[in-house]
């Protein structure tokens, strides 16, 4: 009897937004399975990371860059299933992670995604799929803001607002790895976590006005928004840099003291991913995962994320795998290996 190859399924399981609105609009569905085009790879998703842009997109449609069914999710980690014409960087079976096609939706809340091969990098062996899925968007945001926009140099003083958050906790580690003195704002309960990350000077934003006690800062990374940007101008040295992440509307105008201000929107970056991988492999960077939930509980994950009370990242498991080695910590409802010592 001849063994004929099994045809790939035409559909896959995914969580879609039935309309724009609250977390309740998220629902499981069967959608068309994507196929890789030239220079693209097809990745079977093991885990999908969540970011604030996920719930903003769910509420309003985000950047409006939808191909067909609105499947959310930018961050993914998984295994290459197939490669398109001309791809030599990866082969089926390779473990990869990335945020393909941003700001277009990658469709990470689904069993498969496609994207340009160089929008991914090989998953570091030291990270589980859950940890790797927590890294691309937040890690590249911090990497590009600090090393590119702000041109961070060793010995500089850096202030990171919301330093225990998804972008903030990675920015702290990147800044420390590049030789900076780091000040970080967070509630007092998270100061132990900040010190473990390498923060030299944690500040409790609930009891202390950073603008009254911090001075001579070279770079401010504003992961919070609101009036934090305007208040941060007071702590910057002449010629310093303020990088705003939440919204371009939060960038204060500056016309004096040589201060540079601007809004940074992350973009796919193969070299940046390799930079993050090198920091992971040398023990200088590790994503903190606050909560792990199965794909079916995407709405619950959004509710938790919008609460603003998480430390690090929230990750959805799409394919359940055997527990992977990890440095410690406990995951909730999902893949092992999601914590930080």
Angle at 326 between CA 276 and CA 315, to 5 degrees: 65
Residues with Cβ within 8 Å of residue 64, at least 6 apart in sequence: none
**What residues does each domain of the chain span?**
11-135+287-317, 142-263
Q: From the CB of residue 239, how many other CB atoms can be counted at a distance below 10 Å?
A: 10
The reported pLDDT for the residue numbered 320 is 59
β 236-244/75-83 pair status: unpaired
Joined tokens for residue 25: 């609009």
Confidence (pTM): 0.90
pLDDT in tens, the chain (341 residues): 444 445 677 999 999 988 889 999 999 999 999 999 999 999 999 999 999 999 998 998 877 666 556 899 999 999 999 999 999 999 999 999 999 999 988 899 999 999 999 999 999 999 999 999 999 999 999 999 999 999 999 999 999 999 999 999 999 999 999 999 999 999 999 999 999 999 999 999 999 999 999 999 999 999 998 899 999 999 999 999 999 998 888 899 876 899 999 999 999 999 999 999 999 999 999 999 999 999 999 999 999 999 988 899 999 999 855 444 443 333 443 443 333 32
> Are 118 and 86 in contact, with CB atoms under 8 Å apart?
no
The CATH T-level fold of domain 11-135+287-317 is Quinone Oxidoreductase; Chain A, domain 1 (3.90.180)
The reported pLDDT for the residue numbered 331 is 40
Joined tokens for residue 201: 């000077």
CATH annotation of 142-263: 3.40.50.720
């Amino acid at each position: 009897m001849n063994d004929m190859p099994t045809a790939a399924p035409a559909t896959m399981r995914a969580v879609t937004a039935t309309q724009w609105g609250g977390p309740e609009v998220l629902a499981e569905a069967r959608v068309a399975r994507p196929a890789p085009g030239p220079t693209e790879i097809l990745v079977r998703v093991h885990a999908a990371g969540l970011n604030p842009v996920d719930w903003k997109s769910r509420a309003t449609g985000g950047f409006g860059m939808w191909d067909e069914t609105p499947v959310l999710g930018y961050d993914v980690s998984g295994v290459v299933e197939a490669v398109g014409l001309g791809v030599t960087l990866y082969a089926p079976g390779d473990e990869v992670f990335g945020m393909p096609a941003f700001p277009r939706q990658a469709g990470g809340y689904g069993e498969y995604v496609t994207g340009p091969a160089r929008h991914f990098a090989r998953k570091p062996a030291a990270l589980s799929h859950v940890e790797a899925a927590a890294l691309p968007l937040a890690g590249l945001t911090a990497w590009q803001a600090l090393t590119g926009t702000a041109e961070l140099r060793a010995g500089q003083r850096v202030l990171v607002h919301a330093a225990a958050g998804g972008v903030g906790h990675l920015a702290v580690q990147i800044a420390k790895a590049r030789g900076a003195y780091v000040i970080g704002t967070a509630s007092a309960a998270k100061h132990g976590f900040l010190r473990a990350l390498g923060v030299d000077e944690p500040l409790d934003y609930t009891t202390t006005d950073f603008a009254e006690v911090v001075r001579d800062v070279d770079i401010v990374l504003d992961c919070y928004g609101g009036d934090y940007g305007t208040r941060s101008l007071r702590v910057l040295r002449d010629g310093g840099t303020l990088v705003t992440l939440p919204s371009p509307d939060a960038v204060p105008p500056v016309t004096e003291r040589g201060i540079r201000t601007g809004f940074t929107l992350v973009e796919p970056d193969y070299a940046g991913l390799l930079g993050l991988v090198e920091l992971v492999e040398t023990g200088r960077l590790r994503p903190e995962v606050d909560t792990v939930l199965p794909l079916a509980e995407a709405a619950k994950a959004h509710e938790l994320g919008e609460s603003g009370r998480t430390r690090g990242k929230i990750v959805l498991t799409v394919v359940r795998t055997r527990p992977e080695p990890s440095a410690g910590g406990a995951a909730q409802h999902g893949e092992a290996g999601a914590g930080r010592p």
